[in-house]
Amino acid sequence: MGVESLPILTTRKDAVLAWGQKNSLWPMPFGTACCAIEFMSVVSSVFDIARFGAELVRFSPRQADLLLVAGTVTFKQGPILKQIYEQMPDPKWVISMGVCASSGGFYNNYCTVQGIDQIIPVDVYISGCPPRPEAILEAIIKLQHKIENPHTTPVAQYKAKEPHFDF
Amino acid sequence: MESAILFEKLKEKFPQAIKGSTDRFGQLEIQLEAKAIPDVVQFLRDDSECEFNMLIDIVSVDYSAYPDWKEDRFGVVYLLKSLTLGHRAQLKVTVSESNPEIPTISHLYANANWLEREAFDQIGIRFEGHPNLKRILNHHEFVGHPLRKDYPITRRQALSANESLMDEMIVRLKEKGWE
Amino acid sequence: MINNFDTKTLLPVRSSQGLDSLKHQEKKDLVLVNLGPSHPASHGTLRAFLALDGETIAAAVTEIGYLHRGFEKDCEAHTFQQCIPYTDRLNYVSAIMNNVGFCKAVERMLRVEVPERAIYIRVITNELNRIIDHLVCAGANLVDIGALTNFWYSFNVREKVYNILEKLCGARLTSSYTRIGGLSRDVYPEFAAEVKAVLKEIQLGVNDVQKLVSNNRIFLDRTKDICVISKERAISYGWTGPTLRACGVEYDLRKSDPYYHYEDFKFDIPVGSVGDTYDRIFIRFYEIEESIHIIEQALGKMPKGPIITDDKRVALPPKQQTYGNIEGLMNHFKIIMHGICPEPGEIYDFTEAANGELGFYIVADGGKNPYRVKCRPPCFMNFAAFGEMIEGTMVADAVATLGSINIIAGELDR
Ligand code: SF4
């Protein structure tokens, strides 16, 4: 018997919420550098992030639930990243795109933060410099999986309110 | 104009200020006294045979680790270009570590303001008379000058809060008559 | 628009001490607003701090450095070859142009001759990159004005150029295609045919965009006579490249100080007449057409031959020799372990990149690492003028202008 003919379906509330959240991620690109250019490619028609329900790119953190940090974050940029993250309403997720955001990449020097997880919690990391557009799509799928299974893969939480830098 | 002729011309005009010259791959680098920079640059800009109307760049170098370096620690190179006559000039001054001061040329070229700020930020050259000599690339809580050879590449400095920029804004509003 | 409005740390809005005194004398209220550093219309991490009188910008100050990631210090800690990937990330929209600019300077220091074939391939890839850069700049700029369709038109062709570049060097964006003394690899067999095909599509795409905007009343109203900068002021700010040419100065390093046989190619330099946002956008469309001509000529002239010099000081020997005889092995070992060591000296060398004069001042001390590298980014000069340009205009004009001077943060802050 097909589902269509059922007048009522029962499910768990969190399951239906997660289903909604995962299929309508509203990303806010925190694009600082080269990776942001690749993110533009993901949004444009060839790769088309809309296939995964995340095409509604918001430029205000208050309207977004997915923060996509694309690019190098320097110490000068650090307080801004933190502020933007805090401005986002819960529930919220973070994807760190590219090695720069994930670990500082090959900028191991005096001005680059060695991974944004020293400032904000991160859910999915993408390697690559810049990652290929497909990798970003994969990260979105990973995140969707994570949203669906909150018990096995808990969402990253703020450990400390103050950034903790490992110098 | 050939850079050799330019050198002769400058030597005639500023006999005390010009110290020497070196060939840098076809471009003559003219060394001079730091104090003379504004006068020489102004002359180069306004003289009808020179007409160096564009400041290409200001490069600052810390020579403290350079092999066999006998002059003062910091070098600053001014690169000039004439769009009308098509030639280039390269001027170099050196300043000591104890007194790294050069008179500003920010009143002569509009971009000198930022370029001098960058040299100050990265190497620590102080430009006398600069209207707003503060850091430009590094954040305002940064201590030291990262491109000095004794600054370790991985010495990181965190920033707690960004600048408000009110200091610059008040000056700018006054200039615009909002007093 | 205002993204850090209500915070203690980042920004006092209205009630700051300085402004109170201003308010007494002048009856008007000025509102302080931050445009950036994380702002969708600011194309990267730029910050303009504006004092608004209504919607008009009364005063503007700008701040940069949010993407300062230590390019120059990193170069000092790496060998000359290892610096090439760092140069990719200066102007990341047109990475090969930076590779070429850097390699050209080092090659001049080493007095190495680059083979003819490599020169022609460099010219072709350079011009392809110039096209991409202009497409991205114009496309993004038009989005800021509200013309979203153009973004798809220009990005579709851009994606096709990226496919070619990817086939060529394995990376879409950060290509690291050149090596000191030549190139990392030769072009693939179908290269010429594919480039020719894509050039046609570029021309079509550009025509489409132009058709949409050139008689569009909204576009014209938004760009004509907006944020005009005079020739003298632009020169004093050190502007080069398309933005300077938009002000009516016919200055292009490919013509005035030709390198890589640019003197043999037939192409024109488009020049603007007013120096407004309109000129700065349209000059890019015309330059794309000129670049297409250059590529067509270069494809026809490209000779056969090696793509990297045989100078033993800089080029790795072919793999057969490395594995086949002791000399090749030692040669390989020496270059890998000891690096490329130019004689002590200093050089300033420049190329015409998509945004203007891209210069590298390199100091060598005889070692394998550069002693000091200073990059002269064309954006730096453009952005220095930004505050002055937008004063007296509306906020929306400021956004349109920012797009038209094409600031790439990677190059601006290095
Ligand atoms: S990971 Fe690579 S491409 Fe991405 S911002 Fe960093 S340097 Fe640029």
Tell me the per-residue pLDDT of C299-355, one tens digit each, with 9 for 90 and over: 888 888 888 888 888 888 888 888 888 888 888 888 888 888 888 888 898 888 888
Picking from A45-49, B97-101, C2-6, C148-152, which range would have the lowest pLDDT averaged per residue?
A: C2-6
Q: Which domain holds residue A64?
A: 13-148
Tokens 């060591």 label which residue? Answer: C341
User: Are the C-beta atoms of C70 and B146 separated by less than 8 Å?
Assistant: yes
Mean pLDDT over residues A139-160, rounded? 76
B136 touches chain A (CB under 8 A): no
Query: What's the pLDDT at B158?
Result: 81
Picking from B25-29, C14-18, C277-281, C283-287, which range would have the lowest pLDDT averaged per residue?
A: C14-18
pTM: 0.86
Distances (CA, A) of A161 to A65, A82, A83, A119, B160: 19, 10, 11, 9, 13
Chain B residues with CB under 8 Å of A114 CB are 156
B159 touches chain A (CB under 8 A): yes
Tokens 């970003």 label which residue? Answer: A136
Residues 76-95 of B with CB under 8 A from C: 77, 79, 83, 86, 90
Mean pLDDT over residues C107-133, rounded? 89
The residue among A89, C54, C238 whose CA lies nearest residue B45 is C238
Query: What's the pLDDT at A17?
Result: 85
Collapsing DSSP to helix, strand or coil, A30 comes out as strand
Report the percentage of chain C scoring pLDDT > 90: 1
Query: What's the pLDDT at C280?
Result: 87
Confidence of residue A164 (pLDDT cuts 50, 70, 90): low
Query: What's the pLDDT at C277?
Result: 86
A138, part of any domain: yes
Name residues whose C-beta falls within 8 Å of residue A34's C-beta, 6 or more positions apart in sequence.
A71, A98, A130, C88, C89, C92, C173, C174, C410
Distances (CA, A) of A148 to A17, A22, A53, A68, C15: 9, 7, 15, 19, 46
The pLDDT mean for chain C works out to 83
Query: What's the pLDDT at C4?
Result: 40
Q: The tokens of B71 are what?
A: 């002059």
Query: What's the pLDDT at A167?
Result: 61
Chains near B with 3+ CB pairs less than 8 A apart are A, C
A141, part of any domain: yes
The pLDDT mean for chain B works out to 84
Residues C131 and B129: their CA atoms lie apart, in Å, by 43
Mean pLDDT over residues C109-132, rounded? 89
Residue B162 pLDDT exceeds 70 = yes
Query: What's the pLDDT at C24?
Result: 46
Query: What's the pLDDT at A148?
Result: 83
* Percent helix, strand and coil across chain B, each to the nearest 5: 25, 25, 50
Is residue C373 within a helix (H) or strand (E), and if so which, with residue range? strand C370-376
Residues C55 and C397: their CA atoms lie apart, in Å, by 10
C234-C238-C240-C244 Cα dihedral, nearest 10 degrees: 0
Mean pLDDT over residues A150-155, rounded? 67
Domain spans, chain C: 2-63, 72-310+341-413
Query: What's the pLDDT at B179?
Result: 65
Question: Which of A32, A40, A72 gets mutated to test ligand 1 (max ligand atoms within 8 A of its CB)?
Answer: A72
Mean pLDDT over residues A78-93, rounded? 85
CB contact under 8 A, C70 and A71: no
Q: The tokens of C172 are what?
A: 């879409």
Mean pLDDT over residues C350-379, rounded? 89
- Closest Cα of chain C to B136: distance in Å? 6
pLDDT per residue as tens digits for the range C3-59: 343 333 344 343 344 444 444 444 467 788 888 777 766 667 888 888 888 888 888
Nearest CA to ligand 1 atom 2: A129
Q: The tokens of B7 are what?
A: 């050198």
Query: What's the pLDDT at C95?
Result: 87
Report the percentage of chain C scoring pLDDT > 70: 92
Ligand 1 centroid vs A34 CA: distance in angstroms? 5
CB contact under 8 A, B156 and A111: yes
CB contact under 8 A, A130 and C67: no
What DSSP character marks residue B18?
E
Residue A142 pLDDT exceeds 80 = yes
B29 touches chain C (CB under 8 A): yes
Picking from A149-158, B86-95, C157-166, C193-202, which range would have the lowest pLDDT averaged per residue?
A: A149-158
Query: What's the pLDDT at B108?
Result: 87
Residue A158 pLDDT exceeds 50 = yes
Nearest CA to ligand 1 atom 8: A34
User: Are the C-beta atoms of A3 and A9 separated by less than 8 Å?
Assistant: yes
Q: C72-310+341-413: which CATH topology?
A: Cytochrome-c3 Hydrogenase; chain B (1.10.645)
Residue C160 pLDDT exceeds 80 = yes
Query: What's the pLDDT at C41?
Result: 63
> The domain at B3-175 falls in which architecture?
2-Layer Sandwich (3.30)
Mean pLDDT over residues C136-159, rounded? 81
Residues C340 and A113: their CA atoms lie apart, in Å, by 31
Query: What's the pLDDT at C15?
Result: 39
Q: What is the 3-state secondary structure (H, E, C) of C238-254?
A: CCCHHHHHHCCCCCCHH
User: Are the C-beta atoms of C408 and C44 separated by less than 8 Å?
Assistant: yes
Question: Where in C39-163 does DSSP place strands (E)?
Answer: 47-53, 56-63
pLDDT per residue as tens digits for the range B14-47: 778 788 788 888 788 888 888 888 888 888 888 8
Which atom of ligand 1 lies closest to the CA of A106? 7
Residue C2 pLDDT exceeds 50 = no
